[in-house]
A and B are shown apart, each in its own frame.
Chain A
Amino acid sequence: MVCQICNKNPATVHFTEIQDNRSSELHVCQNCAQEKGLAPQSGLQKFSFSQLLAGMVDEMATGEEEKVGPVQCPRCGLHYTSFKETGRLGCPACYSTFQAKLRPLLRRIHGSTRHTGKHPATESESVARTRQVQRLQDELQRAIDKEDFERAAELRDLIRTADQAVTREGRPRANPA
Protein backbone atom coordinates (compact mmCIF):
# COMPACT_ATOMS: atom_id res chain seq x y z
CA MET A 1 0.00 0.00 0.00
CA VAL A 2 1.36 3.40 -0.97
CA CYS A 3 1.11 6.57 1.14
CA GLN A 4 -2.05 8.50 0.27
CA ILE A 5 -0.31 11.84 0.75
CA CYS A 6 3.01 11.57 -1.12
CA ASN A 7 2.06 8.54 -3.25
CA LYS A 8 5.68 7.46 -2.99
CA ASN A 9 6.63 5.70 0.21
CA PRO A 10 4.92 2.61 1.60
CA ALA A 11 2.03 3.45 3.93
CA THR A 12 2.93 2.28 7.41
CA VAL A 13 0.70 4.45 9.60
CA HIS A 14 -2.98 3.63 9.45
CA PHE A 15 -5.89 5.60 10.80
CA THR A 16 -9.54 4.73 10.75
CA GLU A 17 -12.09 7.37 11.53
CA ILE A 18 -15.75 6.65 12.01
CA GLN A 19 -18.13 9.52 11.55
CA ASP A 20 -21.90 9.34 11.16
CA ASN A 21 -21.59 5.58 10.77
CA ARG A 22 -19.26 6.08 7.87
CA SER A 23 -15.76 4.78 8.23
CA SER A 24 -12.96 6.57 6.44
CA GLU A 25 -9.38 5.41 6.36
CA LEU A 26 -6.10 7.14 5.97
CA HIS A 27 -2.93 5.23 5.09
CA VAL A 28 0.22 7.31 5.12
CA CYS A 29 3.96 6.85 5.36
CA GLN A 30 5.95 7.69 8.46
CA ASN A 31 7.36 10.89 6.94
CA CYS A 32 4.02 12.33 5.91
CA ALA A 33 2.45 11.24 9.20
CA GLN A 34 5.14 13.11 11.06
CA GLU A 35 4.72 16.19 8.91
CA LYS A 36 0.99 16.19 9.58
CA GLY A 37 1.60 15.65 13.27
CA LEU A 38 -0.09 12.25 13.23
CA ALA A 39 2.81 10.01 14.07
CA PRO A 40 5.26 9.28 16.84
CA GLN A 41 9.02 9.37 16.82
CA SER A 42 10.85 6.16 16.11
CA GLY A 43 10.80 3.19 18.41
CA LEU A 44 7.98 1.96 20.54
CA GLN A 45 6.42 5.29 21.35
CA LYS A 46 2.73 5.79 21.23
CA PHE A 47 0.78 7.61 18.58
CA SER A 48 0.51 11.27 19.18
CA PHE A 49 -3.18 10.90 19.85
CA SER A 50 -3.32 14.23 21.58
CA GLN A 51 -2.34 16.02 18.39
CA LEU A 52 -4.81 14.04 16.38
CA LEU A 53 -7.38 14.81 19.03
CA ALA A 54 -6.60 18.50 18.98
CA GLY A 55 -7.51 18.42 15.29
CA MET A 56 -10.80 16.74 16.08
CA VAL A 57 -11.66 19.24 18.80
CA ASP A 58 -10.97 22.06 16.40
CA GLU A 59 -13.33 20.62 13.88
CA MET A 60 -16.04 20.22 16.48
CA ALA A 61 -15.58 23.71 17.84
CA THR A 62 -17.59 25.04 14.94
CA GLY A 63 -20.58 22.93 16.02
CA GLU A 64 -23.22 23.41 18.65
CA GLU A 65 -21.09 22.04 21.50
CA GLU A 66 -18.94 25.15 21.48
CA LYS A 67 -21.76 27.22 22.88
CA VAL A 68 -22.43 24.91 25.81
CA GLY A 69 -20.97 25.22 29.27
CA PRO A 70 -18.16 27.19 30.90
CA VAL A 71 -14.94 28.07 29.13
CA GLN A 72 -12.57 27.81 32.10
CA CYS A 73 -12.10 25.14 34.77
CA PRO A 74 -12.69 26.69 38.22
CA ARG A 75 -10.36 24.15 39.79
CA CYS A 76 -7.19 24.37 37.73
CA GLY A 77 -7.85 27.45 35.59
CA LEU A 78 -7.46 25.64 32.25
CA HIS A 79 -9.21 27.41 29.39
CA TYR A 80 -11.10 25.21 26.97
CA THR A 81 -9.17 26.85 24.14
CA SER A 82 -5.97 25.50 25.66
CA PHE A 83 -7.40 21.98 25.59
CA LYS A 84 -8.25 22.56 21.94
CA GLU A 85 -4.64 23.41 21.24
CA THR A 86 -2.94 20.63 23.21
CA GLY A 87 -5.53 17.85 23.44
CA ARG A 88 -4.83 17.62 27.16
CA LEU A 89 -7.12 18.52 30.01
CA GLY A 90 -5.77 20.25 33.10
CA CYS A 91 -7.11 18.25 36.01
CA PRO A 92 -9.72 15.58 36.85
CA ALA A 93 -12.32 18.31 37.53
CA CYS A 94 -12.00 19.53 33.91
CA TYR A 95 -14.04 16.47 32.90
CA SER A 96 -17.04 17.70 34.89
CA THR A 97 -16.51 21.34 33.96
CA PHE A 98 -16.40 20.69 30.23
CA GLN A 99 -18.69 17.67 30.18
CA ALA A 100 -21.16 19.13 27.71
CA LYS A 101 -18.32 19.57 25.23
CA LEU A 102 -16.47 16.41 26.11
CA ARG A 103 -19.37 14.00 25.81
CA PRO A 104 -19.70 14.22 22.01
CA LEU A 105 -15.94 14.22 21.69
CA LEU A 106 -15.59 11.05 23.78
CA ARG A 107 -18.29 9.43 21.68
CA ARG A 108 -16.37 10.27 18.55
CA ILE A 109 -13.07 8.96 19.88
CA HIS A 110 -14.31 5.80 21.54
CA GLY A 111 -17.72 5.15 20.00
CA SER A 112 -19.13 5.20 23.53
CA THR A 113 -19.36 7.47 26.54
CA ARG A 114 -19.84 4.89 29.24
CA HIS A 115 -17.11 3.15 31.17
CA THR A 116 -17.81 -0.54 31.71
CA GLY A 117 -14.49 -1.69 33.14
CA LYS A 118 -12.98 -1.97 36.59
CA HIS A 119 -13.31 0.73 39.23
CA PRO A 120 -11.48 1.78 42.39
CA ALA A 121 -12.47 -0.35 45.40
CA THR A 122 -14.10 2.62 47.14
CA GLU A 123 -16.39 3.38 44.22
CA SER A 124 -18.31 0.15 44.26
CA GLU A 125 -21.65 1.38 45.60
CA SER A 126 -22.11 4.37 43.33
CA VAL A 127 -20.81 2.36 40.40
CA ALA A 128 -23.38 -0.31 41.13
CA ARG A 129 -26.08 2.39 40.87
CA THR A 130 -24.65 3.65 37.61
CA ARG A 131 -24.62 0.12 36.27
CA GLN A 132 -28.28 -0.16 37.23
CA VAL A 133 -29.09 3.01 35.29
CA GLN A 134 -27.17 1.64 32.36
CA ARG A 135 -29.10 -1.62 32.40
CA LEU A 136 -32.38 0.28 32.53
CA GLN A 137 -31.33 2.44 29.60
CA ASP A 138 -30.49 -0.63 27.57
CA GLU A 139 -33.87 -2.08 28.40
CA LEU A 140 -35.54 1.22 27.47
CA GLN A 141 -33.90 1.12 24.07
CA ARG A 142 -35.16 -2.40 23.51
CA ALA A 143 -38.69 -1.37 24.56
CA ILE A 144 -38.63 1.54 22.11
CA ASP A 145 -37.34 -0.72 19.35
CA LYS A 146 -40.29 -3.05 20.02
CA GLU A 147 -42.64 -0.04 20.17
CA ASP A 148 -43.67 -1.08 23.69
CA PHE A 149 -44.28 2.51 24.77
CA GLU A 150 -46.06 1.66 28.00
CA ARG A 151 -43.01 -0.22 29.27
CA ALA A 152 -40.76 2.55 27.91
CA ALA A 153 -42.60 5.16 29.98
CA GLU A 154 -42.19 3.04 33.12
CA LEU A 155 -38.53 2.60 32.43
CA ARG A 156 -38.05 6.31 31.84
CA ASP A 157 -39.44 7.02 35.32
CA LEU A 158 -37.24 4.37 36.89
CA ILE A 159 -34.19 5.83 35.15
CA ARG A 160 -35.06 9.33 36.32
CA THR A 161 -35.25 8.17 39.95
CA ALA A 162 -32.07 6.11 39.76
CA ASP A 163 -30.20 8.87 37.94
CA GLN A 164 -31.05 11.37 40.65
CA ALA A 165 -29.58 8.98 43.26
CA VAL A 166 -26.34 8.80 41.29
CA THR A 167 -26.19 12.56 40.90
CA ARG A 168 -26.82 13.11 44.63
CA GLU A 169 -23.86 10.90 45.43
CA GLY A 170 -21.76 13.14 43.30
CA ARG A 171 -19.73 12.43 40.26
CA PRO A 172 -16.85 12.70 40.56
CA ARG A 173 -16.57 11.85 44.23
CA ALA A 174 -17.05 14.86 46.54
CA ASN A 175 -13.79 16.63 47.11
CA PRO A 176 -12.70 16.63 50.77
CA ALA A 177 -9.61 18.75 50.11
Chain B
Amino acid sequence: MEARMPDAGETSGAGRVPAVDRLISRPGPWLDATGSHPAIVLSTRIRLARNLRHVPFTHRAREDELRQVLGSVERAATRAASIGGGAFLSVHELGPLDRTVLVERHLVSHELSDASRPRGLYVAPDERISIMVNEEDHIRLQSLVSGLMLGDAWAFADQADDELDGSLEYAYHDEWGYLTACPTNAGTGLRASVLIHLSALVLTKQIDKVLKGITQMGLAVRGFYGEGTDVMGNLFQISNQTTLGLSEKETLESLERVTRQILSAEERARDTLLRDARVQIEDKVFRAFGTLRYGRTMSSQEVVNLASAVRLGVALNLPELPSLSTLNELLVLTQPAHLQRRLGKVMDPAERNVRRAELVRSILARGGGDGTAEGRRG
Protein backbone atom coordinates (compact mmCIF):
# COMPACT_ATOMS: atom_id res chain seq x y z
CA MET B 1 0.00 0.00 0.00
CA GLU B 2 2.91 2.33 0.60
CA ALA B 3 4.49 1.44 -2.73
CA ARG B 4 6.60 4.14 -4.33
CA MET B 5 4.55 6.35 -6.45
CA PRO B 6 5.92 7.19 -9.87
CA ASP B 7 3.26 9.80 -10.57
CA ALA B 8 3.44 11.65 -7.32
CA GLY B 9 5.95 14.13 -8.60
CA GLU B 10 3.94 15.68 -11.40
CA THR B 11 5.14 19.09 -10.37
CA SER B 12 8.72 19.89 -9.55
CA GLY B 13 9.83 19.26 -6.01
CA ALA B 14 6.82 17.15 -5.10
CA GLY B 15 7.71 13.74 -3.75
CA ARG B 16 5.92 11.68 -1.15
CA VAL B 17 4.51 14.02 1.38
CA PRO B 18 4.39 12.29 4.79
CA ALA B 19 1.47 14.41 5.99
CA VAL B 20 -0.60 13.29 2.98
CA ASP B 21 0.51 9.68 3.55
CA ARG B 22 -0.85 9.87 7.06
CA LEU B 23 -4.13 11.35 5.87
CA ILE B 24 -4.93 8.69 3.29
CA SER B 25 -4.37 5.82 5.71
CA ARG B 26 -7.53 6.68 7.65
CA PRO B 27 -10.86 8.32 6.90
CA GLY B 28 -10.57 11.32 9.23
CA PRO B 29 -12.03 11.68 12.71
CA TRP B 30 -14.92 13.80 11.45
CA LEU B 31 -16.40 10.65 9.95
CA ASP B 32 -15.95 8.34 12.93
CA ALA B 33 -19.73 8.22 13.43
CA THR B 34 -19.63 9.67 16.92
CA GLY B 35 -21.60 12.69 18.15
CA SER B 36 -25.31 13.35 18.06
CA HIS B 37 -27.50 11.59 15.41
CA PRO B 38 -24.55 10.22 13.40
CA ALA B 39 -26.77 7.99 11.24
CA ILE B 40 -28.49 11.03 9.74
CA VAL B 41 -26.03 13.90 10.27
CA LEU B 42 -22.63 12.80 8.97
CA SER B 43 -20.68 15.86 9.99
CA THR B 44 -20.82 19.44 11.22
CA ARG B 45 -18.53 22.11 9.87
CA ILE B 46 -17.71 25.63 11.05
CA ARG B 47 -15.74 27.96 8.83
CA LEU B 48 -14.40 31.35 9.86
CA ALA B 49 -13.08 33.80 7.27
CA ARG B 50 -10.34 36.17 8.46
CA ASN B 51 -7.87 38.53 6.80
CA LEU B 52 -4.72 40.27 7.89
CA ARG B 53 -5.21 44.00 8.30
CA HIS B 54 -2.20 45.27 6.39
CA VAL B 55 -2.21 42.93 3.40
CA PRO B 56 -4.49 43.25 0.36
CA PHE B 57 -6.96 40.37 -0.06
CA THR B 58 -5.47 37.28 -1.68
CA HIS B 59 -6.50 38.04 -5.27
CA ARG B 60 -4.93 41.53 -5.08
CA ALA B 61 -1.82 40.68 -3.05
CA ARG B 62 1.65 40.32 -4.54
CA GLU B 63 3.35 36.95 -4.40
CA ASP B 64 5.84 38.11 -1.72
CA GLU B 65 2.92 39.36 0.40
CA LEU B 66 1.20 36.00 0.09
CA ARG B 67 4.41 34.26 1.17
CA GLN B 68 4.52 36.52 4.21
CA VAL B 69 0.95 35.57 5.03
CA LEU B 70 1.88 31.87 4.77
CA GLY B 71 4.77 32.41 7.18
CA SER B 72 2.76 34.47 9.67
CA VAL B 73 -0.14 32.02 9.79
CA GLU B 74 2.15 29.01 10.05
CA ARG B 75 3.98 30.57 13.01
CA ALA B 76 0.72 31.61 14.69
CA ALA B 77 -0.89 28.18 14.21
CA THR B 78 2.15 26.27 15.39
CA ARG B 79 2.24 28.43 18.53
CA ALA B 80 -1.50 28.12 19.24
CA ALA B 81 -2.12 25.98 22.32
CA SER B 82 -5.20 24.09 21.14
CA ILE B 83 -4.02 23.29 17.59
CA GLY B 84 -0.20 23.43 17.74
CA GLY B 85 2.03 20.57 16.65
CA GLY B 86 0.18 19.94 13.40
CA ALA B 87 1.42 19.80 9.81
CA PHE B 88 1.79 22.77 7.47
CA LEU B 89 1.58 21.99 3.77
CA SER B 90 2.65 24.33 0.98
CA VAL B 91 -0.28 23.40 -1.23
CA HIS B 92 1.20 25.03 -4.34
CA GLU B 93 4.19 22.71 -4.11
CA LEU B 94 2.12 19.52 -3.93
CA GLY B 95 1.45 17.34 -6.96
CA PRO B 96 -2.06 17.48 -8.47
CA LEU B 97 -3.04 14.10 -7.01
CA ASP B 98 -2.12 15.14 -3.48
CA ARG B 99 -4.04 18.38 -3.91
CA THR B 100 -7.09 16.42 -5.03
CA VAL B 101 -6.77 14.15 -1.98
CA LEU B 102 -7.05 17.26 0.19
CA VAL B 103 -10.14 18.42 -1.74
CA GLU B 104 -11.79 14.99 -1.44
CA ARG B 105 -11.13 15.13 2.25
CA HIS B 106 -12.88 18.51 2.56
CA LEU B 107 -9.68 20.02 3.92
CA VAL B 108 -9.26 22.40 1.02
CA SER B 109 -11.55 23.99 -1.55
CA HIS B 110 -11.13 23.87 -5.31
CA GLU B 111 -9.95 27.45 -5.15
CA LEU B 112 -7.15 26.59 -2.74
CA SER B 113 -6.12 23.59 -4.78
CA ASP B 114 -5.28 25.90 -7.69
CA ALA B 115 -1.50 25.89 -7.43
CA SER B 116 -0.76 29.07 -9.37
CA ARG B 117 -0.23 31.17 -6.22
CA PRO B 118 1.38 30.55 -2.80
CA ARG B 119 -1.23 28.75 -0.77
CA GLY B 120 -1.03 26.71 2.39
CA LEU B 121 -2.92 24.30 4.58
CA TYR B 122 -2.40 23.78 8.28
CA VAL B 123 -3.86 20.61 9.73
CA ALA B 124 -4.04 20.21 13.52
CA PRO B 125 -2.87 16.85 14.86
CA ASP B 126 -6.37 15.42 15.23
CA GLU B 127 -7.56 16.91 11.89
CA ARG B 128 -10.44 18.52 13.74
CA ILE B 129 -9.15 22.00 12.92
CA SER B 130 -7.59 23.00 9.65
CA ILE B 131 -6.64 26.36 8.21
CA MET B 132 -6.61 27.21 4.52
CA VAL B 133 -4.17 30.03 3.89
CA ASN B 134 -4.55 32.41 0.93
CA GLU B 135 -7.85 31.07 -0.27
CA GLU B 136 -10.35 33.83 -1.19
CA ASP B 137 -9.51 35.20 2.26
CA HIS B 138 -6.08 34.98 3.91
CA ILE B 139 -7.42 32.65 6.55
CA ARG B 140 -10.23 30.14 6.34
CA LEU B 141 -10.27 28.39 9.69
CA GLN B 142 -12.33 25.23 9.61
CA SER B 143 -13.53 22.89 12.29
CA LEU B 144 -15.01 19.59 11.20
CA VAL B 145 -16.59 17.10 13.60
CA SER B 146 -18.71 13.97 13.34
CA GLY B 147 -22.48 14.10 13.94
CA LEU B 148 -24.70 17.08 14.74
CA MET B 149 -22.32 18.95 17.05
CA LEU B 150 -22.63 22.66 16.27
CA GLY B 151 -21.75 23.69 19.83
CA ASP B 152 -18.56 21.63 19.91
CA ALA B 153 -17.50 22.57 16.40
CA TRP B 154 -18.00 26.24 17.25
CA ALA B 155 -16.08 25.94 20.54
CA PHE B 156 -13.05 24.41 18.77
CA ALA B 157 -13.07 27.03 16.01
CA ASP B 158 -13.69 29.91 18.42
CA GLN B 159 -10.77 28.90 20.62
CA ALA B 160 -8.37 28.44 17.69
CA ASP B 161 -9.54 31.80 16.31
CA ASP B 162 -8.83 33.52 19.64
CA GLU B 163 -5.38 31.95 19.75
CA LEU B 164 -4.55 33.11 16.22
CA ASP B 165 -5.90 36.55 17.12
CA GLY B 166 -3.20 36.67 19.81
CA SER B 167 -0.43 36.68 17.21
CA LEU B 168 -2.08 38.07 14.06
CA GLU B 169 -3.73 41.42 13.42
CA TYR B 170 -7.11 40.74 11.86
CA ALA B 171 -8.90 43.15 9.54
CA TYR B 172 -11.91 44.29 11.55
CA HIS B 173 -14.39 47.15 11.37
CA ASP B 174 -16.54 48.18 14.33
CA GLU B 175 -19.70 48.35 12.29
CA TRP B 176 -19.08 45.60 9.74
CA GLY B 177 -17.13 43.08 11.78
CA TYR B 178 -14.45 40.89 10.21
CA LEU B 179 -13.69 42.18 6.74
CA THR B 180 -13.60 39.67 3.92
CA ALA B 181 -12.77 39.79 0.22
CA CYS B 182 -16.40 39.18 -0.66
CA PRO B 183 -18.96 41.26 1.29
CA THR B 184 -21.23 38.20 1.51
CA ASN B 185 -18.91 36.89 4.27
CA ALA B 186 -18.33 40.14 6.16
CA GLY B 187 -19.41 40.34 9.79
CA THR B 188 -18.91 37.08 11.63
CA GLY B 189 -17.17 35.45 8.65
CA LEU B 190 -19.00 32.37 9.86
CA ARG B 191 -20.37 29.66 7.65
CA ALA B 192 -21.83 26.80 9.68
CA SER B 193 -23.05 23.71 7.90
CA VAL B 194 -24.26 20.18 8.44
CA LEU B 195 -23.98 17.29 6.01
CA ILE B 196 -27.24 15.40 6.34
CA HIS B 197 -28.53 12.12 4.89
CA LEU B 198 -32.21 12.42 3.93
CA SER B 199 -32.93 9.14 2.19
CA ALA B 200 -36.43 8.58 3.55
CA LEU B 201 -37.54 12.11 2.63
CA VAL B 202 -36.24 11.48 -0.89
CA LEU B 203 -37.90 8.06 -1.11
CA THR B 204 -41.22 9.41 0.13
CA LYS B 205 -40.94 12.38 -2.26
CA GLN B 206 -41.20 14.97 0.47
CA ILE B 207 -37.74 16.34 -0.10
CA ASP B 208 -38.69 19.28 -2.36
CA LYS B 209 -41.12 20.60 0.19
CA VAL B 210 -38.52 20.31 2.93
CA LEU B 211 -35.80 21.99 0.86
CA LYS B 212 -38.13 24.83 0.03
CA GLY B 213 -38.88 25.26 3.71
CA ILE B 214 -35.17 25.45 4.47
CA THR B 215 -34.60 28.28 2.01
CA GLN B 216 -37.55 30.15 3.44
CA MET B 217 -35.81 30.02 6.82
CA GLY B 218 -32.93 32.00 5.33
CA LEU B 219 -30.65 28.98 5.09
CA ALA B 220 -28.96 27.58 2.01
CA VAL B 221 -29.21 23.95 0.97
CA ARG B 222 -27.24 22.04 -1.58
CA GLY B 223 -27.18 18.50 -2.84
CA PHE B 224 -24.05 16.50 -3.16
CA TYR B 225 -23.81 16.11 -6.89
CA GLY B 226 -22.58 13.37 -9.10
CA GLU B 227 -22.91 13.26 -12.84
CA GLY B 228 -26.21 14.51 -14.20
CA THR B 229 -28.75 16.01 -11.91
CA ASP B 230 -29.30 13.16 -9.47
CA VAL B 231 -28.60 14.05 -5.92
CA MET B 232 -25.73 11.80 -4.95
CA GLY B 233 -26.21 9.52 -2.01
CA ASN B 234 -29.20 11.53 -0.70
CA LEU B 235 -26.69 13.81 1.00
CA PHE B 236 -27.47 17.48 1.50
CA GLN B 237 -25.55 20.33 3.00
CA ILE B 238 -27.47 22.94 4.96
CA SER B 239 -25.78 26.19 5.93
CA ASN B 240 -26.43 29.76 7.01
CA GLN B 241 -26.51 32.38 4.26
CA THR B 242 -25.90 35.66 6.02
CA THR B 243 -23.03 36.76 8.25
CA LEU B 244 -23.91 40.33 9.22
CA GLY B 245 -26.51 41.22 11.83
CA LEU B 246 -26.83 37.92 13.67
CA SER B 247 -24.27 36.93 16.28
CA GLU B 248 -22.46 33.61 15.95
CA LYS B 249 -24.67 32.18 18.68
CA GLU B 250 -27.88 33.24 16.93
CA THR B 251 -26.64 31.88 13.60
CA LEU B 252 -25.80 28.51 15.15
CA GLU B 253 -29.09 28.35 17.05
CA SER B 254 -31.07 28.98 13.90
CA LEU B 255 -29.18 26.27 11.97
CA GLU B 256 -29.53 23.84 14.88
CA ARG B 257 -33.27 24.49 15.17
CA VAL B 258 -33.91 23.92 11.48
CA THR B 259 -31.63 20.88 11.34
CA ARG B 260 -33.51 19.29 14.23
CA GLN B 261 -36.83 19.89 12.50
CA ILE B 262 -35.49 18.22 9.36
CA LEU B 263 -34.15 15.36 11.46
CA SER B 264 -37.59 14.80 12.92
CA ALA B 265 -39.18 14.90 9.47
CA GLU B 266 -36.64 12.34 8.23
CA GLU B 267 -37.27 10.11 11.25
CA ARG B 268 -41.03 10.29 10.70
CA ALA B 269 -40.56 9.41 7.03
CA ARG B 270 -38.41 6.43 8.08
CA ASP B 271 -41.14 5.21 10.44
CA THR B 272 -43.67 5.50 7.62
CA LEU B 273 -41.44 3.54 5.28
CA LEU B 274 -40.94 0.78 7.82
CA ARG B 275 -44.65 0.59 8.49
CA ASP B 276 -45.89 0.70 4.91
CA ALA B 277 -43.07 -0.76 2.84
CA ARG B 278 -40.82 -2.79 5.08
CA VAL B 279 -40.06 -5.54 2.59
CA GLN B 280 -39.29 -3.10 -0.21
CA ILE B 281 -36.93 -1.14 2.02
CA GLU B 282 -35.18 -4.24 3.29
CA ASP B 283 -34.83 -5.45 -0.27
CA LYS B 284 -33.27 -2.15 -1.37
CA VAL B 285 -30.87 -2.11 1.59
CA PHE B 286 -29.69 -5.70 1.26
CA ARG B 287 -29.37 -5.55 -2.52
CA ALA B 288 -27.15 -2.51 -2.09
CA PHE B 289 -25.11 -4.27 0.56
CA GLY B 290 -24.80 -7.35 -1.64
CA THR B 291 -23.52 -5.26 -4.53
CA LEU B 292 -20.94 -3.52 -2.33
CA ARG B 293 -19.86 -6.85 -0.92
CA TYR B 294 -19.63 -8.84 -4.12
CA GLY B 295 -19.41 -6.33 -6.99
CA ARG B 296 -16.30 -6.43 -9.14
CA THR B 297 -16.30 -2.95 -10.70
CA MET B 298 -17.75 0.23 -9.20
CA SER B 299 -17.72 3.97 -9.89
CA SER B 300 -17.35 6.48 -7.04
CA GLN B 301 -20.91 7.57 -7.51
CA GLU B 302 -22.18 4.02 -7.30
CA VAL B 303 -20.34 3.49 -4.01
CA VAL B 304 -21.87 6.68 -2.59
CA ASN B 305 -25.38 5.67 -3.66
CA LEU B 306 -25.06 2.08 -2.42
CA ALA B 307 -23.58 3.26 0.87
CA SER B 308 -26.56 5.59 1.21
CA ALA B 309 -29.00 2.70 0.97
CA VAL B 310 -27.01 0.63 3.48
CA ARG B 311 -26.79 3.65 5.81
CA LEU B 312 -30.59 3.79 5.84
CA GLY B 313 -30.64 0.11 6.78
CA VAL B 314 -28.19 0.68 9.65
CA ALA B 315 -30.31 3.54 10.94
CA LEU B 316 -33.38 1.29 10.80
CA ASN B 317 -31.52 -1.31 12.86
CA LEU B 318 -31.61 -3.99 10.18
CA PRO B 319 -29.30 -6.86 11.10
CA GLU B 320 -25.90 -7.90 9.72
CA LEU B 321 -24.92 -4.59 8.21
CA PRO B 322 -21.59 -2.79 8.58
CA SER B 323 -21.12 -0.04 11.15
CA LEU B 324 -21.69 3.62 10.30
CA SER B 325 -17.99 4.35 10.66
CA THR B 326 -17.22 1.64 8.09
CA LEU B 327 -19.72 3.20 5.68
CA ASN B 328 -18.14 6.61 6.25
CA GLU B 329 -14.74 5.09 5.57
CA LEU B 330 -16.05 3.82 2.23
CA LEU B 331 -17.25 7.30 1.28
CA VAL B 332 -13.84 8.88 1.83
CA LEU B 333 -11.25 6.24 0.96
CA THR B 334 -12.80 5.09 -2.33
CA GLN B 335 -12.75 8.54 -3.95
CA PRO B 336 -10.56 8.69 -7.07
CA ALA B 337 -7.52 10.54 -5.71
CA HIS B 338 -7.53 8.67 -2.39
CA LEU B 339 -7.68 5.38 -4.26
CA GLN B 340 -4.87 6.25 -6.66
CA ARG B 341 -2.68 7.72 -3.96
CA ARG B 342 -3.22 4.64 -1.81
CA LEU B 343 -2.31 2.27 -4.62
CA GLY B 344 0.60 4.45 -5.66
CA LYS B 345 -0.33 4.96 -9.29
CA VAL B 346 -2.48 7.02 -11.61
CA MET B 347 -5.17 4.86 -13.24
CA ASP B 348 -7.84 5.32 -15.90
CA PRO B 349 -11.48 5.17 -14.72
CA ALA B 350 -12.00 1.56 -15.83
CA GLU B 351 -9.02 0.32 -13.82
CA ARG B 352 -10.00 2.52 -10.89
CA ASN B 353 -13.47 0.97 -10.83
CA VAL B 354 -11.98 -2.52 -10.54
CA ARG B 355 -9.52 -1.51 -7.82
CA ARG B 356 -12.24 0.43 -6.02
CA ALA B 357 -14.46 -2.66 -5.84
CA GLU B 358 -11.49 -4.58 -4.37
CA LEU B 359 -10.95 -1.87 -1.76
CA VAL B 360 -14.66 -1.84 -0.87
CA ARG B 361 -14.59 -5.59 -0.32
CA SER B 362 -11.51 -5.38 1.84
CA ILE B 363 -12.89 -2.53 3.97
CA LEU B 364 -16.16 -4.41 4.46
CA ALA B 365 -14.33 -7.65 5.29
CA ARG B 366 -12.24 -5.83 7.86
CA GLY B 367 -14.76 -3.52 9.39
CA GLY B 368 -18.35 -4.51 8.91
CA GLY B 369 -21.17 -6.80 8.07
CA ASP B 370 -21.12 -8.38 11.47
CA GLY B 371 -24.11 -6.51 12.77
CA THR B 372 -22.17 -4.76 15.54
CA ALA B 373 -24.11 -2.13 17.39
CA GLU B 374 -21.27 0.38 17.05
CA GLY B 375 -22.48 3.78 15.97
CA ARG B 376 -25.95 2.55 15.25
CA ARG B 377 -27.97 5.08 17.10
CA GLY B 378 -29.59 7.55 14.77
> Is A13 part of the contact surface with B, judged by Cβ < 8 Å?
yes
| Residue of A16, A46, A126 touching B218 (CB-CB under 8 A) | A16
B residues in contact with A42, CB < 8 Å:
225-226
In chain A, what residue has the closest Cβ to B47? A46
Question: Would you call A90 and B176 a contact (CB within 8 A)?
Answer: no
Question: Would you call A120 and B172 a contact (CB within 8 A)?
Answer: yes
In chain A, what residue has the closest Cβ to B185? A49
A159 to B117, CA, bound (A): 46
Question: Would you call B237 and A172 a contact (CB within 8 A)?
Answer: no
Chain A: interface size category:
35 or more
> Is A161 part of the contact surface with B, judged by Cβ < 8 Å?
no
> Is A45 part of the contact surface with B, judged by Cβ < 8 Å?
yes
> Is A89 part of the contact surface with B, judged by Cβ < 8 Å?
yes
In chain A, what residue has the closest Cβ to B216? A16
Q: Nearest Cβ distance between residue A87 and chain B, in whole angstroms?
A: 6
Q: Nearest Cβ distance between residue A154 and chain B, in whole angstroms?
A: 23
Question: Would you call B181 and A89 a contact (CB within 8 A)?
Answer: yes
Give chain A interface residues in 20-70, CB to chain B under 8 Å.
23, 25, 27, 29-31, 40-47, 49-50, 53
A116 to B214, CA, bound (A): 24
A29 to B208, CA, bound (A): 12
A34 to B360, CA, bound (A): 33
Chain B residues touching A, majority SS: mixed
Beyond contacts A30-B225, A43-B225, A88-B181: 14 other A-B pairs, Cβ-Cβ < 8 A, are: A12-B229, A25-B216, A29-B229, A53-B184, A86-B59, A95-B176, A95-B179, A109-B242, A112-B242, A115-B175, A118-B161, A121-B162, A171-B174, A172-B171
Instruction: Sample 29 A-B pairs with CB under 8 A, ordered by A number.
Output: A9-B229, A14-B214, A23-B216, A25-B212, A30-B225, A31-B229, A44-B106, A50-B184, A87-B183, A88-B57, A89-B182, A92-B51, A92-B173, A106-B244, A110-B245, A112-B246, A114-B176, A115-B173, A115-B245, A121-B165, A123-B172, A126-B174, A130-B174, A130-B175, A171-B175, A172-B173, A172-B174, A173-B53, A175-B53
> Is B101 part of the contact surface with A, judged by Cβ < 8 Å?
no
B residues in contact with A113, CB < 8 Å:
175-176, 244-245
> Is A166 part of the contact surface with B, judged by Cβ < 8 Å?
yes
Known: A14-B211, A16-B215. A112 touches B182 (CB 8 A): no
B residues in contact with A86, CB < 8 Å:
59
Residues 275-317 of B, flagged 1 when their CB comes within 8 A of A and 0 if not, give 0000000000000000000000000000000000000000000
Q: Could you tell me which A residues sit within 8 Å of B by CB distance?
A: 1, 9-16, 23, 25, 27, 29-31, 40-47, 49-50, 53, 75-76, 78, 86-92, 95-96, 102, 105-106, 109-121, 123, 126-127, 129-130, 166, 171-173, 175, 177
B residues in contact with A92, CB < 8 Å:
51, 53, 57, 171, 173, 179
Question: Would you call B245 and A116 a contact (CB within 8 A)?
Answer: yes
Q: Nearest Cβ distance between residue A29 and chain B, in whole angstroms?
A: 6
Question: Would you call A45 and B109 a contact (CB within 8 A)?
Answer: yes
B residues in contact with A27, CB < 8 Å:
212
Q: Nearest Cβ distance between residue A50 and chain B, in whole angstroms?
A: 5
A residues in contact with B182, CB < 8 Å:
49-50, 53, 87-89
Question: Would you call A117 and B177 a contact (CB within 8 A)?
Answer: yes
Known: A16-B216, A88-B181, A127-B174. A76 touches B103 (CB 8 A): no
